[in-house]
Chain A
């Protein structure tokens, strides 16, 4: 069955269901705003960065629209395949030359693919499938067994370990947050979650003890607590970022204003991980809170989608996606204002970066598909 005929059939099914317009509009607004801020942060070297990001945004929107129209329940049948492909891609990054001892990319001509970004979405889908009961429309039992919990840990642990080796501590933590959130909503007991957390803490302690945390990761954690340790390095980045945001005050210095710290390029990576710095400095607390509100809307819609899903699989996908977005926003903005360590997590829809934008669009597209399919249409099973 070709994808196109399938899409046509889905269209027939969801005749009465509408796109989640609020989710889509918010996503569009954030993407447009992101392009503006990228331009603001890089305009002294031209519009290149913004134009490049426009291409990724366009690609992302196409992905969103296509995926919205694919019945998310289809994925349950191809779980082994997408798992294997994702793992192979995560392994492939080690084949290519590392940049500064970091292996994160698969070069595709002008574009570098970051499999770790897509792996987050895959992990959400695979976990949802694992935790959802097998029979389709059942809401399922209220608790899950230890066996299920441990299997879920196993599902996440393999890609997490590969990503950690790149090394990419931030994305590894995203996996952890998704795992906990999804286990919780799918019925894990407090005892199960606390035991898991305790095991994790012990694991981290062991990692620190054995020196498995690379020196720069360790520095980034230490600098959070004492930014005077290296005034020129990571601490400098954090301090500059906080200064830039702080100096924006209530209303900001104005978009594209000259003479700002962002304008002076005083904040390293201000078009990537530190894009929120440009927002905070130029648009102030008002602009910053508006951005936060937009993310709150996205997370709220995802939770609504989860609550309204026709089955547990879709509900878990939407909840996992909400957790992913939430964690990115919290850690990224938290980092720019000095309450989170520098872990290299970008800000959804705003930060520059192709793989990340497209993976976020993919995740929201799948969630939108859950929304579209929420009401069973008479006769749909014959079509399936």
Chain B
């Protein structure tokens, strides 16, 4: 090849290179040009968000619980910081705010070009001093930003909830979410977030070399709406204090028992309580111990503090999320089923089928098994006393297990594998067990009603995975039975695999007391705007009506009254004062394992002539219901009924 030819080829290559650039230029400027031009026109406008103050939260009497106040905050707008000023700015701010320079620089870097972000909330004094130095702090402004204030501290924490920054799950749900916007977590802060949130404002301007050259009229943030709760703050405070005292009482009793040589297991530290209006299904008080201070989350919670809260399960709302066997409190439901469905009683020496009496002597000998062995169930008063022959009324008053066991066994023997075999379970389900009540709080669980179907479902899982530990392995053997008569007997006294929340117990009693109306409980009654006008009324939706005859209802209420006047809660209520005849209740002592103390339950109903208040108290591993939970509930009921609450002292050790 001649030199000139080679030069020519090089020339052709060069022409090709020019053509590529030229064509690409044509593509970018002509083909894509108009679209790019439009996008960049918008891009020269910088948008900044100003956050709206969240709405307030009031109790049912208008007492302010949570509010937002405007506080001075140091805000950096990177639009106004020239790159060469960055280092100096970080150094100065770090010294003024006592924030580590590297940490500050990392935040600055993370927020990105043109970001406007809050560095710290500062005191008024510091804000004043910073204001004087703004000339040497480019891009820094002292803005007034909303800060959440929880006026009631840890009181009502689980109902109110707290704030937090959006996490990965939130981003997945809403990819456009503002990552700097604090959103509600738990409680009504979360459940009513869309009302409380308000609408962020927008500042829009064009900036050239750190100076605003053009500005659109700012869109001011719209404050969020406020909530009025159904909660009565004064009652709530009393309930929380009563729970703390109940826990202290439980520990004192345990100490005494221990000295007396009785078996005592752990320290009591957890409890829950619900006060529900049986007519409206408004929650008047809802407490869970241990609790937390929502204020901790406002400025961003320290990792160690958060770890500590988690370790103590302080964020857990056990009133709606805890799983507890309802124990003898469930006898009121079995009582109702016996009356309404005429449950069959078994023909045995210690049962009088025609008069429906059971010999409450402390021991229940189960029918002989195939191998000739016989199991004996011991009642709670075995070795202490014997009640003799009791009818349904005295059986409830004295919480006689034998009576309800007999009903369970009779039902099993007569109706097992017939359409009526789940009659007790069906009633429990209708009264609210086994499914979430629908309260306007997150974290509520369904709980479990044990039944043949449920046990077979568990057996299925356990066959696939023998380590599941859902059922005793012997039930899965060839000659074993997955669902047994003893299971229905346990269920009839609220034990066994039965799991319920304190709220479900409250709801079931409310339905029994109000004649069968099932509604969804509510903690919020109204959403109101900043001028106090109602935006939305929140009422409890009516779910269903359970047919309960008034005879049964009145009989049950009378017998619940006898529980506190002369039954298992007698000692706890002896100092109740006037109007004890209007109080009903039921004790419960949930046995959970051989090496743990029992959960102490009490459910109170008042006034009996027209039930309004349902009070549920649960002291986790607190001991006897009559001894520990009943005095706490009595204290609360005294307050509700207008008596002066007397000190919480140990009641009688009963079921």
Contacts and interface: CB of A to CB of B under 8 A. Distances in A.
Interface of A: 44-45, 139-140, 142, 181, 184-187, 231-232, 236, 242-250, 259, 261, 263-266, 280, 284-285, 288-289, 292, 295-296, 299-300, 303, 306-307, 312, 315, 319, 322-323, 326, 329-330, 333-334, 337-339
B107 interface: no
B33 A184 contact: no
B34 interface: yes
Contacts of B37: 246-249
Nearest to B37: A247
Contacts of A323: 10
Contacts of B355: none
A295 B18 CA distance: 9
A215 B507 CA distance: 64
Contacts of B33: 246-250, 285
Contacts of B21: 292, 329-330, 333-334, 337, 339
A285 B32 CA distance: 12
Contacts of A288: 25, 29
A259 B44 contact: yes
Given A261-B44, A339-B20, A303 B29 contact: no
A280 B25 contact: yes
A139 B29 contact: no
Contacts of B209: 44-45, 265
Q: Interface majority SS on B: helix, strand, loop or mixed?
A: helix
A243 B43 contact: yes
B1 interface: yes
Enumerate the 5 nearest inter-chain pairs by beta-carbon distance, A residue then B residue, closest first. A246-B36, A249-B33, A247-B37, A285-B29, A247-B40
Given A184-B6, A323-B10, A292 B29 contact: no
Contact of B24 (A250, A296, A312, A339): A339
Contact of B17 (A265, A326, A337): A326
Given A243-B40, A249-B37, A323-B10, A284 B29 contact: yes
Given A242-B28, A247-B36, 10 more contacts: A45-B209, A142-B2, A248-B29, A261-B43, A285-B30, A289-B22, A292-B25, A312-B3, A322-B10, A329-B18
Contacts of A261: 40, 43-44
B17 A264 contact: no
27 contacts: A44-B208, A184-B9, A185-B10, A245-B28, A246-B28, A247-B40, A249-B34, A250-B30, A259-B206, A261-B43, A264-B44, A265-B209, A266-B44, A280-B25, A285-B26, A289-B22, A292-B25, A296-B18, A300-B11, A303-B11, A312-B3, A315-B3, A322-B14, A326-B17, A330-B18, A333-B21, A334-B21
A187 B28 contact: no
B7 A250 contact: no
Contacts of A242: 28, 36
B41 interface: yes
Contacts of A326: 14, 17
A187 B39 CA distance: 51
A291 B34 CA distance: 22
B112 interface: yes
Nearest to A334: B21
Contacts of A339: 20-21, 24
A242 B42 CA distance: 15
Interface in B201-241: 206-209
B111 to A, nearest CB: 10
Contacts of A44: 208-209
B113 interface: yes
A243 B7 CA distance: 37
Given A142-B1, A232-B113, A337-B24, A244 B10 contact: no
B259 interface: no
B369 interface: no
B206 A307 contact: no
